[in-house]
Homo-oligomer: A and B are copies of this chain.
């Protein structure tokens, strides 16, 4: 960590600051430049609060030189983490497809979609029981009934299920859910992350609309610091000035997250673009860039879907995407 000092620091105050830093077990290296002087801090700087230090009257800025995350950091855990739900894996050479409707609507719908996507090769079933909607007047999901229907579809198809938790108050309902999704809008709902750190279930953590890659890893760190290291990172598009797509899919996040962290990474092209025909080229791009899987919205009747229908594929369109991904996964040495 580098502390850049303001011009002409008061020597007495500087000595006081220095001894405070030394008391934290740090070694100090001073450099005096023409216009600027600075202190290099050496030792375990994870205990140093950059903001506190930055507030010191002598300090102009503080710059970090090492990553602030430990448990999620590949430097300290070189081996890939593999999430394994009853043998269905994310990571370890698998390219895992999670598919299903934006929201669970009826028993018929979820079972029909589940059977269709399983037939085409999806390994996990997704479906929303609790739906985050911008408008209070929009359909908000079937809630506990939605979870019940997902579990029915699981019983019929034996696919592990992924569904979003919107409030810790609902956590009891998730006891039979296989993977708990933390949505983009809750990526920095720190109380939720802490609580999920005490869970033994895999967590699918979606990147927030305007969160950096480092912040995504810090949110994973929240969960992992609580003892739960089964975290799947999900790139789902970030918010930019571009309006032609719903969000801007940050494909660079895939190789970067794989290098910085040992956690598996999946991509959600449905939410990233909001445009169904773009799911195929972008799923291929995700595979080519090294992702461990994709999450795709599929609905048996998109124009009747109670939410996000406009971005859902039909089961037939989904089968076509899978037909394109299968040989490509093989070519990349991955198991679809």
Contact with B along A160-200 (1 / 0, CB 8 A): 00000011111000000000000001101111111000000
Do B255 and A278 touch (CB < 8 A)? yes
- Least CB separation from A220: chain B residue: B136
| A2 interface hit (Cβ, 8 Å) | yes
| A109 interface hit (Cβ, 8 Å) | no
Contact among B35, B189, B252, B307 for A189, CB-based, below 8 A = B189
A194-B65 CB under 8 A given contacts A35-B75, A38-B40, A252-B249: no
| A14 interface hit (Cβ, 8 Å) | no
Contact among B136, B252, B328 for A194, CB-based, below 8 A = B136
Do B278 and A252 touch (CB < 8 A)? yes
Compute how far the CA of A303 lies from the CA of B319 in the bound complex, rounded to whole angstroms: 48
A103 to nearest B CB, angstroms?
11
| A43 interface hit (Cβ, 8 Å) | yes
Contact among B29, B49, B308 for A306, CB-based, below 8 A = B49
Residue among A140, A166, A278 with the most chain B CB within 10 A?
A: A278
Residue among A44, A54, A193 with the most chain B CB within 10 A?
A: A54
- Least CB separation from A67: chain B residue: B35
| A209 interface hit (Cβ, 8 Å) | yes
Do A210 and B212 touch (CB < 8 A)? no
A141 to nearest B CB, angstroms?
11
Contact among B32, B52, B273 for A252, CB-based, below 8 A = B273
| A240 interface hit (Cβ, 8 Å) | yes
Do A213 and B244 touch (CB < 8 A)? yes
Contact among B168, B208, B241, B308 for A167, CB-based, below 8 A = B168
A42-B33 CB under 8 A given contacts A136-B194, A256-B244, A289-B285: yes
For A57, list chain B residues within 8 Å (CB). Answer: 303
Contact with B along A136-152 (1 / 0, CB 8 A): 11111000000000000
Do B243 and A212 touch (CB < 8 A)? yes
Compute how far the CA of A55 lies from the CA of B297 in the bound complex, rounded to whole angstroms: 13
A187 to nearest B CB, angstroms?
8
Compute how far the CA of A133 lies from the CA of B321 in the bound complex, rounded to whole angstroms: 40
| A335 interface hit (Cβ, 8 Å) | no
Compute how far the CA of A138 lies from the CA of B222 in the bound complex, rounded to whole angstroms: 11
Do B188 and A134 touch (CB < 8 A)? yes
Report which A residues bind B (CB closer than 8 A). 2, 4, 29-36, 38, 40-47, 49, 51-52, 54-57, 61, 63, 65-66, 68, 75, 130, 132-140, 166-170, 185-186, 188-194, 208-215, 218, 221-222, 225, 238-245, 248-252, 254-256, 259, 272-273, 277-278, 281-282, 284-290, 302-312, 327-328, 331
Interface contacts beyond A132-B188, A136-B221, A245-B256: sample of 14 additional A-B pairs, CB < 8 Å, sorted by A: A33-B40, A35-B75, A36-B66, A38-B40, A52-B303, A52-B309, A55-B305, A135-B218, A140-B190, A167-B191, A210-B241, A240-B241, A240-B250, A251-B251
